[in-house]
């Protein structure tokens, strides 16, 4: 039997991750800000033709890009998410998110305001 606190944490973690991705696709900057820890460190390991490099984002840059509507360019049929919560230990958690566009490893922390995304590492789904 799974303790109720674990069930509640899993639901809250999934909701936070959905807020993060769905706000990106919708261009909802306020919802994005609510999903992120202010100290977010987002890294993308991507190859733009010159070999792999790291793209670096912060909480503020993610909110700014969301407000610009960059994620709104992704068609709805490519916005499906598969969220796997890999581990919860006290006030930290790890999850893997797969979609037709991204594969992203997500680290979360429990704050006074609920679960927030602290770190992510991503690549395009096709790599």
> DSSP assignment of 97-126, as one string?
EE-SSEEEEEEEEEETTEEEEEEEEEEETT
Q: What is the pTM of this model?
A: 0.92
CATH at residue 103: 3.10.450.50
Contact 121, 45 (CB under 8 A): yes
- Residue 127: per-residue pLDDT: 58
Query: For residue range 3-53, what is the model confidence (pLDDT) as tens digits?
Result: 567 889 999 999 999 999 999 999 999 999 999 999 999 999 988 787 888
- Cβ neighbour number for residue 75 with a 10 Å cutoff: 10
- Residue 63: per-residue pLDDT: 98
Asked whether the predicted pLDDT for residue 2 surpasses 60, the reply is no
Contact 104, 55 (CB under 8 A): no
Any residues with CB less than 8 A from the CB of 70 and at least 6 apart, and which? 24
Give residue 106's domain range: 4-124
* Ramachandran angles phi, psi of 125, nearest 5°: -60, -30
- Residue 51: per-residue pLDDT: 81
Query: Considering its fold, how many domains does the chain have in total?
Result: 1
- What is the arrangement of strands in the sheet containing 102-111, beginning at the earlier edge strand? 52-57, 36-47, 114-124, 102-111, 92-98, 82-89
C-alpha pair distances (Å), 61 with each of 23, 24, 38, 57:
14, 12, 11, 6
């Amino acid at each position: 039997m799974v303790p109720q606190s674990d069930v509640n944490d899993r639901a809250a973690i999934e909701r936070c991750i959905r807020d993060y991705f769905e706000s990106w696709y919708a261009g909802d900057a306020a919802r994005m800000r609510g999903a992120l820890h202010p100290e977010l460190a987002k890294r993308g390991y991507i190859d733009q033709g010159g070999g792999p490099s790291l793209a670096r984002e912060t909480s503020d840059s993610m909110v700014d890009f969301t407000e610009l509507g960059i994620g709104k360019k992704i068609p709805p049929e490519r916005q499906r998410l598969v969220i796997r919560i890999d581990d919860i230990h006290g006030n930290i958690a790890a999850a893997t998110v797969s979609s037709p566009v991204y594969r992203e490893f997500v680290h979360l922390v429990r704050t006074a305001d609920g679960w927030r995304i602290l770190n992510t590492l991503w690549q395009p789904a096709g790599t």
